[in-house]
Amino acid sequence: MTLIHETDFGTPASKSEKLVTLTIDGQSISVPEGTSIMRAAMEMGTKIPKLCATDMVDAFGSCRLCLVEIEGRPGTPASCTTPVSPGLNVKTQTPRLKQLRKGVMELYISDHPLDCLTCAANGDCELQDMAGAVGLREVRYGMDGANHFKPDSPLAMPKDESNPYFTYDPAKCIVCSRCVRACEEVQGTFALTIEGRGFDSRVSPGQHEAFLDSDCVSCGACVQACPTATLQEKSVIEIGQPEHSVVTTCAYCGVGCAFKAEMRGDELVRMVPYKDGKANRGHSCVKGRFAWGYATHKERILSPMIRDSIDQPWREVGWQEAIGFAANRLKAIQARYGRDSIGGITSSRCTNEETFLVQKLIRAGFGTNNVDTCARVCHSPTGYGLKTTFGTSAGTQDFDSVEHTDVVVVIGANPTDGHPVFASRLKKRLRQGAKLIVIDPRRIDLVKSPHIKAEVHLPLLPGTNVAIVTALAHVIVTEGLVDEVFVRERCDWAEFQEWAAFLSEPRNSPDIVGPMAGVEPDAIRHAARLFATGGNGAIYYGLGVTEHSQGTTTVMAIANLAMATGNIGRPGVGVNPLRGQNNVQGACDMGSFPHEFSGYRHVSDDATRQMFEELWGVPLSGDPGLRIPNMLDAAVDGSFKGLYVQGEDILQSDPNTHHVAAGLAAMECVIVQDLFLNETANYAHVFLPGCTFLEKDGTFTNAERRIQRVRRVMAPKNGYADWEVTLLLARAMGFEMDYAHPSQIMDEIAKVTPSFKGVSYQRLEEMGSIQWPCNDKAPLGTPVMHIDGFVRGKGKFVITEYIPTEERTGARFPLLLTTGRILSQYNVGAQTRRTANVVWHEEDRLEIHPHDAENRGICDGDWIKLQSRSGETALRALITDRVAPGVVYTTFHHPDTQANVITTDYSDWATNCPEYKVTAVQVSPSNGPTPWQQEYEAQAQRSRRIEGHAVEAAE
């Protein structure tokens, strides 16, 4: 079997509606205007030989293999770059063309190593295929090309193996430029160039650097584009060519990239971005494409473990014993302390079906609404804010929408690191001329990168989002830039007037807000005018908006801004939360919050509750349960005693690490279900091994509300899929749940959740993916929301009074710390730290402005102590002017740094989402790790020994 790259089907067809009729090889064909002759021929089943053309990139006609003859025109034009025109008479197969193509191939082959039989690409090489297609038998010019030098010759080109995931063998390069173009057009990084001339010309990363040292971001687009084995996955070289594949969905960020998991036998060989994936359109990032090795990492726990108390060593047991132990403990706790003394936490990493089951187990099996999810600490303000203003707890657009955007606002998000595949699409639109406004304390890559420059960057002080967005609205209102037609028709006019009066107050003007937020007033005015008058305006935001004491207020201020400018309800506009985790949207949709059933219906709503009671056969509580921080508070107070945590490491991801540890330590039964012994498991009594996404069947819902299938690539290594483990626990608790396959769980979700009414696995198979709401009104789903009216009826303007956080800088803590992610790592790093991605980020570092560093006597790479009112940690300094004076920044991927030791207890007023993005700190020179970090490292070493033992025992 030959695996054909999804993208290798020639240049894309034109989107024009006007048809052009021409004749190809005597056959008449009509195709849209602008279609290339190559594509037109392909439409009628004629494959013209080609090398440099691929529909990943625009055709550029360099290989000259796709020549055709056109009646009445001189020469033999390249069919990939020649558009159709009416009445053309084209010949694709003539003796002259055959001769010319053979000649072209002879030149290529004369400069290509003749090692096909030992080459990793054998069977998946377009050069090999084309040599066959043109009938090349012999090479008249001899084998004098530079690439025929023996490997030990001083003229031989060395192979670059610096990248951990792919090799670059210049000897095999045919200089077709596909990789260079893919890097530019698809990824937008411009890391590759062609250097040299003639036989000496080669692809070069950067200024003749090794791939690892260059600007390459390892997205894999160049490897995918390469028609030979010049750029080749190391896994293919090691394992061999894949034999079969399964389409599934990535489990990293909220973009939700579709991939073909390509297998050889039971072994995963590579993940290839799926061209028909509507979220990623055939693109990928270094995490989804390459960082899947954690699935088979030796530290993965595959057998259940229990212990009576957390100071005892783990004891490996069978599934039945572990489940029985967990259920007995939970039942005993409830018998002693009451029904509400236990609860659970669902995971945004798990599937919709798994999450739905866990909340069902807790509500119906445990008999309490004490269920919460990790969205609590990231996007809960998005749900609250957008439901209040628009009526739906979700973003308004699909990712395709960005192709119609004229002005993009990116606020509190760093897409090139956090959501890289979407960032590539955004950058493409910016290169086409869309304008960009960045609102971020840091000079993120989008502010200035190859061929992109933000029109405005507002480097606001952390904690001033509400003031700045309100000041933007002030300019729009006071300068008469409101889209009054839209507002009168679509929004509550009285509320708008009240809001406009509030905004017009001088305290909301750029002149007052600017100096307070550290931003030039004129820059605020410029940004506001641009957004209001520049055409389709879209706002994209991330955790830099939500993780604040006024996170919900900023979300509502953003919604106000979109409504006031009429930027809602059509492609190219909208309010777009860039979700952090792969299924954070789904986890929220599935009823993971203590006050809401699936579909965001309050537990106190009698009709909804009765429907669930009838279906599940048990009475349900109408009282909202505890949120995660309240569970921990109650545990410290002694009234909350048992917790089931699926796929979440709350000790590392939740604020105030000491308080989380105290809460967990006070419980009598903590059940952790995960891949690895995470930090929370240090306080657990039961460890239930979890599955990776490669072992799951189910669905994820991405940031566009797009529901996509996750398909099992390999059997669960731990014996059970996660949903089956939940069933076992439910049964042991005395609550029967009966499903034979996750599709049946989805059928139940559809039955009880209005926005999922039309969703089924069968429809997902037919459509590929569906964006909810999918129901009788929208049977094919809803790419863009609020088209004819807001879900809540009239759009609601909310007054967004700026109330500064209580976290203040002062003499002791004069700097503001804010946090974020880096491209190669993911959240607390549980997966990515167990892959070769660590070569790009071995440790968290503190970014500090040269001025602040100099004042403290700190040099680049020095150990520093980072201290706040909550705690202290030590890490090394990275001196950079990406941060303004007075602001420092770090990532939170490594548990031995634990930025959450530093962060405060402040949280969003509406949702309790922690204020991770604003902490007053002091930075001072240090000799190395703090005492707690040294203790942590000692503990980690002990844990690794236990993990090693557990793995050995399992084997």
Positions that interact with ligand FES (CB under 6 A): 50-53, 61-66, 78, 80
Nearest residue (CB) to ligand FES, 105 versus 920: 105
DSSP code, position 365:
I
Bond preceding residue 773 cis, omega within 30 of 0: yes
CB closer to ligand FES out of 42 and 285: 42
Beta-carbon contacts of 55 under 8 Å, excluding residues fewer than 6 positions away, are: 7, 8, 9, 10, 11, 12
Could you tell me the smallest distance in angstroms from the CB atom of residue 51 to ligand FES? 5
> If you count them, how many residues does the chain have?
955
Report, in Å, the least distance between residue 482 CB and ligand FES: 51
- Specify the 3-state DSSP secondary structure of 701: strand
- Residue 370 in contact with residue 742, Cβ under 8 Å? no
C-alpha to C-alpha distance for 725 and 319, rounded to whole angstroms: 9
CA 758 to each of CA 33, 94, 635, 781: distance values in angstroms, whole numbers, following the listed order: 37, 53, 41, 8
**In this structure, are residues 587 and 347 in contact, taking their beta carbons and an 8 Å threshold?**
yes
* Shorter beta-carbon distance to ligand FES: residue 6 or 340: 6
- Min dist. Cβ of residue 116 to ligand FES (A): 21
786 in Cβ contact with 570 (< 8 Å): no
Nearest CB to ligand FES, comparing residues 130 and 563: 130
126 or 354, CB closer to ligand FES?
126
Q: What minimum distance in Å lies between the beta carbon of 43 and ligand FES?
A: 16
781: left (phi over 0), alpha (psi -120 to 50) or beta: left
Residue with smaller CB distance to ligand FES, 63 or 458: 63
Minimum Å gap between C-beta 6 and ligand FES is 18
- Secondary structure of 1-15 as H, E, C letters: CCCCCCCCCCCCCCC
Q: Give the Cα separation of 695 and 717 in Å (integer).
A: 8
- Minimum CB separation from ligand FES for residue 275, in Å? 18
Give me the least distance between CB of 64 and ligand FES, in Å please. Answer: 5
Residue 751 CB coordination number (10 Å): 11
DSSP string, 59-110: ----S--SB-EETTS-S--BTTTPBP-TT-EEES--HHHHHHHHHHHHHHHH
Cβ distance 745 to 339 under 8 Å? no
Q: Is the dihedral of CA 652, 250, 915, 388 positive or negative?
A: negative
Report the C-alpha gap between 84 and 482 in whole angstroms.
45
Q: What are the contacts of 141-150 at 24+ separation with CB within 8 A?
A: 141/106, 141/107, 141/110, 142/110, 143/110, 143/114, 144/110, 145/110, 145/111, 145/112, 145/199, 146/111, 146/199, 146/200, 147/111, 147/112, 147/113, 147/171, 147/172, 147/173, 147/199, 148/111, 148/113
Q: Report the distance separating Cα 750 and Cα 771, nearest Å.
A: 13
Cβ at position 65, least distance to ligand FES in Å: 5
Please state the separation of Cα 32 from the chain's center in Å.
35
Rounded least distance, CB 128 to ligand FES, Å: 16
Phi, psi of 515 (to 5 degrees): -60, -35
Nearest to ligand FES of 132, 928 (CB atom) = 132
Which lies closer to ligand FES via its Cβ, residue 64 or residue 570?
Answer: 64
The least distance separating ligand FES from the CB of residue 728, rounded to whole angstroms, comes to: 56
CB of 40 to ligand FES, least distance (A): 14
CB of 189 to ligand FES, least distance (A): 23
* Nearest Cα residue to 527 out of 402, 415, 440: 440
In angstroms, how far apart are the furthest CA atoms of the chain?
Answer: 93
Nearer to ligand FES, 63 or 671 (CB): 63
* Packing angle, helices 510-517 and 521-533, rounded to 10: 120
Q: Which is nearer to ligand FES, 80 or 263 (CB)?
A: 80
CB closer to ligand FES out of 194 and 523: 194
- Residue 172 is inside which H or E element, if any? none
644 is written with which tokens? 């089931």
Nearest distance in Å: CB 201, ligand FES: 16
Our CB check for ligand FES shows the closer of 177 and 708 to be 177
Q: How far is the CB of 144 from ligand FES (least distance, A)?
A: 23
Q: Which is nearer to ligand FES, 31 or 920 (CB)?
A: 31
| Residues whose CB falls within 8 Å of the CB of residue 935, separated by 6 or more in sequence, listed in order | none
Q: Judged by CB, which is closer to ligand FES: 50, or 429?
A: 50
Helix (H, G, I), strand (E, B), or coil: what is residue 723?
A: helix
First-last CA distance in the chain:
34
